[in-house]
Structure 1
Amino acid sequence: MTDSFTLTSGNVPLLISMPHNGHAIPDDIAATMTDDGRSSRDTDWFKDKLYDFAQALGAYTISPTYSRFVIDLNRDTAGTNLYPGANSTELCPTTAFDLAPLYQDGKQPNAEEVDRRIALYWQPYHQALAATLTEMKAKFGVAVLLEAHSIQSHVPRFFEGRLPDFNFGTADGASCSPAMLQAVENLDLMPYSRTTNGRFKGGFITREYGDPENNIHALQLELSQITYMDEQALTYNEELAKKVKPKLKAMVEALISFAQQAKT
């Protein structure tokens, strides 16, 4: 089902994955949802616009068609909580970040429906992701995966207060080499605030595919949406975006530079 994602090839060993950028919902699923569910409002909005410079730099990109409300591509199909003890969303979320129900009463996805969505939407994305990293490793001797995410600046369900602007995650150092993390830590991101391996340490994709011993390195960036959009209206703000995009471009260039130096 190649219509469930878009994959573009590049010529440098960097793949940018945007697993929460999709916002479409199939009609059969939408018919069971509440208005909140059909809104897809917890999308990582406009990641494709924020990273529209990436292809010119030679990066590979992959992005899904469908909303995280259909199935969350950054969750384990086993249903493991990424942050034990935290009130995290499920593989097929039943509530929004603000705990609003996504489904009409009695119409939440059952186990059979979850399995159907895994087969139709989750597996194709992950098969393409894994195959692309394997291809890059074979071609370049190294592969770097950037997990490009964004989130509202205030989400009480997950954290208190305002989230830092740039939230990097490397599974506490397990998903990439110290040298790659240092390249990112050396970036001048001012005036934006930043943290590494704070509340967000990298989701399932970062933890699953990052394999620095095999020269496959993964980094997640959770960017606060207040840096580039109107969070209430869910609209892109060109003036804000043109200020943060140079920082994102510098980050991508640093990852490409690391990858080119790390070739085996």
Structure 2
Amino acid sequence: MGDAFSDHPPFEIRLPVEQSVPFVFNSPHSGRVYPESFVEASRLDRHSIRRSEDYFVDQLFDASPKFGAPLLAAHFPRAFIDVNREPYELDPRMFEGRIPHFVNASSMRVAGGLGTIPKLVAENMEIYSGRLTIEEALDRIDRYYRPYHDRLRQLIVKTHSRFGYGVLVDCHSMPANAQSSSRNRPDFVIGDRYGTSATEALSQLAVSILQDLGYTVSRNKPYAGGFITEHYGRPARGLHALQIEINRGLYVNEQTFEKTAGFDGLRADIGQFMGLVTEYFANNYSDVALAAE
């Protein structure tokens, strides 16, 4: 098994000249580098396989270093490996070979075809034309999943060590319409795992800033946050994690995956959001984010 990303880094960290705010931004699902071996093993064409991307989210948040915060962004696609899952959420039916005892084969995400090695992309389209070997799955986890989380953890630990607290903002996009419904979703969803990954005041701060910028915002519905938000958010220890979902209808054509005229304005507003939330939080930590014991 060769390195599918030997010609391209699997992810990158965009660092500020100096980290001046206790924030880390993360874009785990915006990767759009598809290894040739992966495409050849898929039953989907090069267009269809992209339907699970968080299109251009890394670009929407790429001003984060200007505000003194690092941005970690995946280049590998979510369809290849999903780092917003436990490391071993795997569907045994996808693989040939003996499944290790530590594999979590019974999670809801596995049942939905969206494990660490996904079975499906959006609209329930199966990715693979046949079974993979379990060795291939474990190799991807070792080569890409673990190094990604190692770097994310390093960024969070460094932030916490420097400032005494920290905030991880996990950045995603969502389809404009709910499945089996023509009803539009809100412009943004802020997820805090129903108050367990960040304090109420921090979540409400994020909601209020976005609303003041003219957007409709909901909390935790329909997205409360995934593995990353749940795993890294420890408010009682001064580590807060928010998930932010952006409605794709604001900035991208979901059929062609091309940016629309709304992209530049949305990117500028997200820049404003980053500037306001980082500045206010850093200057008012005791008021905004003291966790209840």
TM-score (norm 2): 0.80
User: What does residue range 1-264 of structure 1 map to in structure 2 within 5 Å?
Assistant: 3-10=9-16, 11=19, 12-36=21-45, 39-79=49-89, 87=112, 89-104=114-129, 106=130, 108-156=131-179, 161-187=183-209, 188-189=211-212, 191-237=214-260, 239-256=261-278, 257-262=280-285
The one-letter amino acid paired with 1:122 is Y
The percent of aligned pairs where both chains have the same amino acid is 26
Whether the aligned pair in 2 keeps the contact of 1:144 and 1:259 (CA below 8 Å) is no
Q: Secondary structure of 1:70's partner?
A: coil
Q: 2-side partners of 1:82 and 1:178: how far apart?
A: 28
Residue by residue over 1:144-169, the C-alpha shift from the partner in whole angstroms, topping out at 9 and shown as x without a partner, is 11101002213527x77432220110
CA contact (8 A) 1:44 1:151 kept: yes
Q: Structure 1: 5+ residue runs without aligned partners?
A: none
Quote how far apart the aligned CAs of 1:120 are: 0.9
Asked if the contact 1:149–1:222 (Cα under 8 Å) also holds between the matched residues in 2, the reply is: yes
Determine if contact 2:109/2:115 at 8 Å carries over to the other structure: no
Consecutive aligned runs of 4 or more in structure 1 exceeding 4 Å deviation: 80-86
Counterpart amino acid of residue 28 in structure 1 = S
Q: How many positions carry a matched residue from both structures? A: 260
User: Quick one: structure 1 residues 84 and 74, their matched pair in 2 at CA, closer, same or farther if it must change by over 3 Å?
Assistant: closer
Please say which of residues 248-257 and 50-59 is displaced more in the overlay: 248-257
What amino acid maps onto 2:35 in structure 1? P
- The CA distance in 2 between the partners of 1:92 and 1:132, in whole Å, is 25
Query: Cα RMSD (Å) of the superposition?
Result: 2.6
By how many angstroms is 1:204 displaced? Answer: 0.5
- More relative contact order, 1 or 2 (CA 8 Å, 6+ apart): 1
Gaps of 5+ in 2: 90-103
